[in-house]
Structure 1
Amino acid sequence: MASSPPACWLRRAAALVLLAFAFFMPHIRAEVADEGDILIEIRRSLVDANNALYEWSEPADSDHCSWRGIICDNVTFSVIALNLSSLGIEGEISPNIGKLQKLQIIDLSRNSISGIIPDEIGGCVDLQYLDLSFNLLSGEIPFSISRLKQLEHLILKGNQISGPIPSTLSQVPNLKVLDLAQNNLTGEIPSLLYWSEVLQYLGLRNNFLSGQLSPDMCRLTGLWYFDVRSNNLSGSIPTSIGNCTSFEILDLAFNQLTGEIPFNIGFLQIATLSLQGNQLTGKIPDVIGLMQALAVLDLSYNQLHGQIPPILGNLTYTGKLYLHGNHLSGAIPPELGNMTKLSYLQLNDNELTGKIPAELGKLQSLFELTLSGNSLEGQIPESLSSCISLNYLNVHGNQLIGTIPNEFQRIVSLTYLNLSSNQIHGSIPQELGRIRNLDTLDLSHNHISGPIPNSIGDLEHLLILDLSDNRITGVIPAEVGELRIISKLDLSSNQLFGTLPQELGQLENLVALDLHNNNLSGEIPPEIVNCFSMIALNLSFNNFSGEIPISKNFSRFPADSYIGNRLLCGNLIGLICSVQSEASTGSASGG
């Protein structure tokens, strides 16, 4: 059995420890005191209008570790974290920040700090996290950042930083997150960046980067987020893209990419694929239908042609499908009705033909359906009323026929309904008044006939009502006056008759009223002057008579607002009512 150390040996060891502590303690205290002075120097470069850093003006011999935004090490008392995020601070970053060599975290995000990133920041050799995002910083990214060998997060997004991305950033061996988005960076993406084994997040969106995507991008074997949206990148998508197997988000949108979508892109199991706003050509590869993990697929605003692959119906986890703004043709595949998690479907502005598939009615999670600007035919399927989550429906500018389905009353969540510029006939269903959440109802440029239903007044949230260019008859119902927040009312180019309801004067938020080209008659009700918000009025080409209301807000409307009403008078149209009355009397006696 081993013997215990003699007591005299233990006493000697303890004495040595105390001696060492006594030797180093003054140096530690001196360092700590120096850091207090450094912090006060850093404070002098900042403008603290909210007085958030009032403690920082205390004498340097006070406990700066208790100051706001400061964290110190529990043993050495060195400053290891500086967090001044979202304090409304202005001014500049002091070069003295580089003297805080034990700093591990710097977070100055979401302030209004300007000036440059000081080169001295490379002196913070223990730094692991640097977040200067959403400030007003300018100048270039200092090369000294490459000296920060412990750095894992570099977040500079949302500034005005210019110049190239330093290739020396590839010398930061532990860098996991590099977010330089929303700046003014130029030049090419340094190819050396693609050789990092630890980089997980690369955010470069909204800059002015040029050049081509490198085939080496797939060497980033740990990368899950690759975002170069809204730059000036050109050339084609590398055929090696299928090797980027670690990617979960791939956003190449709004660049100048050309060529076809590589076939092997279907090998990726990514959650988001955004290629919109480029100049991509060719067809949509069928293999995209095998990307089972896709939550968002956006190929909009390219020059893609051909049919929508029916195999896309296999994407049962996809919530957003954007194919609008291309040259896609053929019919909408009924298989899209199998995309049970789909919430956004935008196929507008293509060259699609055929009918709207009844199978779309199975999409009970569908929130937005936009099919406008195609050549779709047939009737609007009643089955769409089963899309109980539908909020936005736009089929404007097709060749749809038939009537407005009464069943639409079941889509109580609908706020936007646009059936305009089709060939829809029949009357407006009374049941539409049950869609109480509607804020926009546009049925213009169709062949709709019959009266405006009284139930229109039940749409209390309506902001825009456009029934123009139809064959609507009857009078304007007094219930229109119940649309208290409406801003635009357009009933022009119909066959309406009768007088204007005085209830129109209740529409205090009405900005634009267009009733031109109808058979309306009688006097303009004086109550209409209570529409104080109105800046656009068109009553032309009707049979109105009497005097134009005299008020300050009515004086702003030009004579063209009343043209084509031969019995209307008033100084606004250059015809004094007494003169017109005498002329009418003389004409009658002469007869």
Structure 2
Amino acid sequence: GRVVSISAQGVDLNVTLPSDIHHLSKLRFLDLRRNRITGPLPQALFPELKTLLVDRNSFTGVPPNILALMPMLTKLTLNDNVELKEWELPAARSPHSQLQVFEARNASVAGTLSLFLRSGSAHPNLVRLLLANNRLAGQVMFSSTMLRYLDLSHNMLTGTIEFITGLPNVQELRLHDNAFTGVLPDFSKLWRLRVLTLSQNQFTGIVPVSLINHGGLTSVSLTENLFQGPLPEFPRSVQTDVAHAAYWGSFCRPEPGPCQERVVLLLLIAAAFQFPVSLATSWKGNDPCAGWLGVYCDNSTGEIIGINLSHLALNGTISPVFGALRSLQALLLGGNNLAGVVLQSLLRLPSLRVLDVSDNAAPEDMPHFRSSVLILARASREPKAHGYRPKVAGKPLVISI
């Protein structure tokens, strides 16, 4: 009869796989884990193979079309092959992939996920995708109703994690130690989620209520990010690193509780700018007058009298909350990428003397300000005025515009 199954796990094989191994054409199961097999995986493999397990060996290469060589494959694990030369995930060639489990942790995988996943349509049966400890880069954009376990930790992935809202049945999400940015998405529809690791990224914004009150979580890791606002308070049933995160993040307080009113207002302003990293790294703690980037205060009253956020590559819109800063004398937002209108709420600022929204995407039509307010609003670059000096407790504070 034909050989259909080989199990040689942990038998100390110290060989190179022969190039004619593909003659085992009826093989369906091959387990070679925990050996010392060297050399590349053969270019010709097994057309009927369903399971290939080669973890913890010393393979040096992976065929670029490995999945095309085994169209019936449902499970492939390559974990901990540290001798592998850098390789990229194979581009999807067929919409009829049978693959359900793909694990290649610590296996020298480079490149991006885009060609492999193709927005999720390439491997519609994928339940388990574990690619931790590799050199993957770029953004992640795919959806899957089947995926249960996703581990992309310890890579160089960027962009937001909005994609997770397209994984409604995911149970474990491990995304720590990457370069993800942006605010966290809505978790309310991820009702199967149990484990979430987001530490060691550059997430900003406020930890959403939909995560704090999720109900099904057992473990959450948030530390070493740039989260702002109040420290989240999870149910006692959830294992968290919030105590550690309190000292690594940009929360307003190291313990749960509300933020100071001025902090709340400035965070609403930051939200309209999409919570940029440039502000999150500086806007931390519960006193905006304690060196927050671009925030100038009256030393005697503690009121915010100047905001200079010029040329910070800010996106988003100008928040109406600026109108709540009643002592504001100068608002400088020039040289960014802000869109929308200059809001009527700014007209209510009784002390405003300078408004710079020049060199943005905002339209030139402006509300009718008092004649005493200096307006810089043209979209093109123009020489900026210099040396506006709102008086602060008898001492001039220079805000360059």
- TM normalised by structure 1 equals 0.41
- Structure 1 partner of 2:140: 213
Three-state SS of the structure 1 residue aligned to 2:39 is: coil
Gaps of 5+ in 1: 1-76, 335-350, 354-591
Contact 1:80 1:105 in 2 (8 A): yes
Contact 2:187 2:211 in 1 (8 A): yes
Gaps of 5+ in 2: 258-283, 287-401
1:201 aligns with 2:121: no
CA apart distance, 1:173:
2.0
- Which letter does structure 2 place at the counterpart of 1:145? L
CA apart distance, 1:304:
1.4
- Structure 2 partner of 1:235: 159
Rounded Cα–Cα distance in structure 1 between residues aligned with 2:110 and 2:171: 26
Three-state SS of the structure 1 residue aligned to 2:139 is: coil
Rounded Cα–Cα distance in structure 2 between residues aligned with 1:225 and 1:109: 21
Residue among 82, 101, 110 paired with 2:34: 110
- Which letter does structure 2 place at the counterpart of 1:197? P
1:128 aligns with 2:50: yes
CA apart distance, 1:241:
2.6
User: Kindly tell me: are residues 207 and 168 of structure 1, through their superposed partners in 2, closer, same or farther at Cα, counting changes over 3 Å?
Assistant: same
CA apart distance, 1:243:
3.1
- Which letter does structure 2 place at the counterpart of 1:150? M
Three-state SS of the structure 2 residue aligned to 1:267 is: coil
- Which letter does structure 2 place at the counterpart of 1:141? P
- Which letter does structure 2 place at the counterpart of 1:93? L
- Structure 2 partner of 1:299: 222
1:318 aligns with 2:238: yes
Residue among 188, 200, 212 paired with 1:289: 212
Once structures 1 and 2 are overlaid, which stretch shifts more, 187-196 or 295-304?
187-196
- Structure 2 partner of 1:88: 12
Rounded Cα–Cα distance in structure 1 between residues aligned with 2:52 and 2:16: 16
Residue among 7, 12, 23 paired with 1:99: 23
CA apart distance, 1:115:
0.8
Larger Rg: 1
Rounded Cα–Cα distance in structure 1 between residues aligned with 2:73 and 2:48: 8
Higher helix share: 1
Residue among 187, 195, 203 paired with 1:272: 195
User: Kindly tell me: are residues 331 and 164 of structure 1, through their superposed partners in 2, closer, same or farther at Cα, counting changes over 3 Å?
Assistant: closer
Rounded Cα–Cα distance in structure 2 between residues aligned with 1:352 and 1:86: 53
Task: State the structure with bigger RCO (CA 8 A, min sep 6), 1 or 2.
Answer: 2
- Structure 1 runs (4+) deviating above 6 angstroms are none
Three-state SS of the structure 2 residue aligned to 1:210 is: strand
- Which letter does structure 2 place at the counterpart of 1:155? T
CA apart distance, 1:208:
0.3
* Pairs within 5 Å for 1:415-426: none
- Identity of matched residues, %: 25
Residue among 148, 168, 180 paired with 1:257: 180
CA apart distance, 1:237:
1.7
CA apart distance, 1:333:
3.4
CA apart distance, 1:168:
3.2
- Which letter does structure 1 place at the counterpart of 2:209? D
User: Kindly tell me: are residues 144 and 276 of structure 1, through their superposed partners in 2, closer, same or farther at Cα, counting changes over 3 Å?
Assistant: closer
* Pairs within 5 Å for 1:365-514: none
User: Kindly tell me: are residues 91 and 241 of structure 1, through their superposed partners in 2, closer, same or farther at Cα, counting changes over 3 Å?
Assistant: same
- Structure 1 partner of 2:278: none
CA apart distance, 1:326:
1.4
- Structure 1 partner of 2:377: none
CA apart distance, 1:266:
3.7
Rounded Cα–Cα distance in structure 1 between residues aligned with 2:47 and 2:25: 6
User: Kindly tell me: are residues 305 and 180 of structure 1, through their superposed partners in 2, closer, same or farther at Cα, counting changes over 3 Å?
Assistant: same
- Structure 2 partner of 1:11: none
- Structure 2 partner of 1:188: 112
- Structure 1 partner of 2:342: none
- TM normalised by structure 2 equals 0.59
1:153 aligns with 2:75: yes
Rounded Cα–Cα distance in structure 1 between residues aligned with 2:203 and 2:147: 25
* Pairs within 5 Å for 1:33-72: none
Rounded Cα–Cα distance in structure 1 between residues aligned with 2:67 and 2:165: 33
User: Kindly tell me: are residues 144 and 286 of structure 1, through their superposed partners in 2, closer, same or farther at Cα, counting changes over 3 Å?
Assistant: closer
CA apart distance, 1:290:
2.3
CA apart distance, 1:329:
3.0
Which deviations, in whole Å up to 9, do the C-alpha atoms of 1:519-542 show, x marking residues without a partner?
Answer: xxxxxxxxxxxxxxxxxxxxxxxx
- Structure 2 partner of 1:468: none
Rounded Cα–Cα distance in structure 1 between residues aligned with 2:99 and 2:54: 16
Which deviations, in whole Å up to 9, do the C-alpha atoms of 1:86-119 show, x marking residues without a partner?
Answer: 1111121111210001111111111111110001
Contact 2:64 2:88 in 1 (8 A): no
- Which letter does structure 1 place at the counterpart of 2:127? Q
Contact 1:118 1:142 in 2 (8 A): no
What root-mean-square deviation, in Å, do the aligned CA atoms of Structure 1 and Structure 2 show?
Answer: 2.4
CA apart distance, 1:192:
4.9
- Which letter does structure 1 place at the counterpart of 2:172? I
* Pairs within 5 Å for 1:164-175: 164-168=88-92, 173-175=97-99
